[in-house]
Structure 1
Amino acid sequence: MGTVQETLAESTEGAPQFGPERPRVYSDLSPEEKDRYNADIRITNIFLQGLPKDIYTLINHYTDAKDIWDNVKMLLEGSELTKEDRELQLYDDFEHFRQHKRESIHDYYVWFAKFINDMRNIKMTISRMQLNSKFVNNLLPEWGRFVTAVKHNRGLRDSNYDQLYAYLKQHETHAKENK
C-alpha cells in the first residue's frame, strides 16, 4: 500500500484529481502533444493578429485556439437569438425598401447591394425574381417607362439586379427629364 500522495499520483484517466494540477513542461510532452501545442500557438497568433482591436481586447486572455475561435465566432456572427433578430430586421427592411427622392440610381443600387450582401451573410435566401422585382418596383415614378421596358425586354427571371442596374444607369438622364 503506499502513501495517499502516491495513490493520487497513480490515479487513472478520468478519475477525480485532488489538488491543483501541476503545469506540464514542454519537454515532458509527447510528440503528438508537442505538435498540438505548437499548432495551438500558431493558430492563436494568426487569430489574434487578424482581429479588429475591439474584438481582440475582448478575447486576448484566452490561451486555447478553440476558445478563441468560439468566442470570435460568437462576437462576429452573434448568438442564435441575435441572428434571428437580425434576420427579422432584414425581412422588415426588405419589405419597406424603396428609392428616396433625390437619391441617384447609383446610390440606390449600392444600398440595395449592401442590403442583399447582409442577407447572404446570414444565409437568408430570397429568389432572384423577388430581388429583381423589389429592385425595379421600388424605384421612383420617373423610372416607370424604363422599368416597363426592363420587364418586357429583359425579364426579371433571367437577369440579376446588377444587370438591371447597368441597363437603368444608361437611361438616368432620360429618367431625370421625366420628373
Structure 2
Amino acid sequence: MTLVDKVILLGANNHLPMLEKDMYDSWKRIMELYMVNRQHGQMILESVENGPLIWPTIDENGVTRPRKYSELTHAEAIQADCDVKATNIILQGTSMTKQERECKLYDEIDKFAYKKGETLRDFYLRFSLLLNDMNIYNVELEQFQVNTEFLNTLPPEWSKFVTDVKLVWGLHTTNIDQLHAYLGQHEFHANEVRLMHERNTDPLALVATHQMTQSPYQNHQNSYQNS
C-alpha cells in the first residue's frame, strides 16, 4: 500500500469514530464518573491513570518468574481484577445504553442548579459542558428550552435582568453564548443586589443598620429613658 493509499484510508469513513478535541474533557469526565461508581472504582481509575499492576516475581529453582494469579496477595488480586476492568472500560466504553444515557442527561439538565459563590462565567461553563455532553449523544433540546433552563436556574439577584431578556430577546433564536455576553455586562449590579439582600437577611446587620439610621432625637430620647 502506497503512502497515498494510507492517507486516503485514514480519511475514509471506515475508521473508528473519533472525538473532536474540544470533547475530550467532557468524555474524560463521563468515563471517570462511570469508573469511580463501580466496585473498587478508585482502584480502576488509578489503573487507568498510573498503569496496571506490576506483578511481583518469585524465585523458583533459581529462576525468577512472575507470580501466578493464585499466588498474589488479596490486595494484589483485587488490583489485577481492576486492571482488567479498566482495560475493558477503555476498549468497550461504558455499559450504559443510549436510552440510559439520554435519561441521565435529561435528568442532569432538569436538576442543574447554581452553586453558591460561583461566578456567572463558572455557571455558564458548567452549563455549556452539560450541553456538550448532550451533543455527543445526540440528545436534543429546543433552543427555547435550553435558554429557558439557563435563565431560570440563575439565582434571585439576576431576576431583573432575566425578565428583561425574556421580554426583549427572542429565546427561540438566541443562544446561551449571547445570553452570557449580555448578562456579563450586568454582573456587577447583580452582585450588588446579592450583597444588599444578604445584609438585609442578616439580623446583626439589620441591628447595625437600624442603629446607624436612628435620628439624634431618638438617641437622646433613648438616653433619657435609660437614665
Bin the TM-score by the shorter chain.
Answer: 0.5 to 0.7
* Per-residue deviation, 1:154: 1.4
Partner amino acid, structure 2, of 1:75: Q
Match of 1:107 among 108, 122, 144: 122
Q: State how far apart, in whole Å, the 2-side matches of 1:86 and 1:115 are.
A: 12
Match of 1:75 among 71, 92, 97: 92
Contact (CA 8 Å) 1:143, 1:175: kept in 2 or not?
Answer: yes
Q: State how far apart, in whole Å, the 1-side matches of 2:173 and 2:189 are.
A: 25
Compute the TM-score of the two structures, normalised by the length of structure 1. 0.57
Q: State how far apart, in whole Å, the 1-side matches of 2:91 and 2:134 are.
A: 18
Question: How many pairs were matched up?
Answer: 121
Compute the TM-score of the two structures, normalised by the length of structure 2. 0.46
Q: Which residue of structure 2 aligns with residue 98 of structure 1?
A: 113
Q: State how far apart, in whole Å, the 2-side matches of 1:145 and 1:74 are.
A: 50
Q: State how far apart, in whole Å, the 2-side matches of 1:74 and 1:95 are.
A: 31
Q: Which residue of structure 2 aligns with residue 156 of structure 1?
A: 171
Moved over 4 A (4+): 71-74
Give the fraction of aligned pairs with identical amino acids, expressed as a percent.
Answer: 39
* Deviation string, structure 1 residues 79-107 (Cα, Å, up to 9, x no partner): 5x433222211111111112121111000
Name structure 2 gaps, 5 residues minimum: 17-27, 29-47, 52-87, 195-227
Name structure 1 gaps, 5 residues minimum: 1-33, 58-70
Q: State how far apart, in whole Å, the 2-side matches of 1:111 and 1:72 are.
A: 25
Q: Does structure 1 residue 131 correspond to structure 2 residue 135? A: no
* Deviation string, structure 1 residues 53-73 (Cα, Å, up to 9, x no partner): x5xx9xxxxxxxxxxxxx999
* Deviation string, structure 1 residues 120-160 (Cα, Å, up to 9, x no partner): 10000000000000000110000000000111111312211
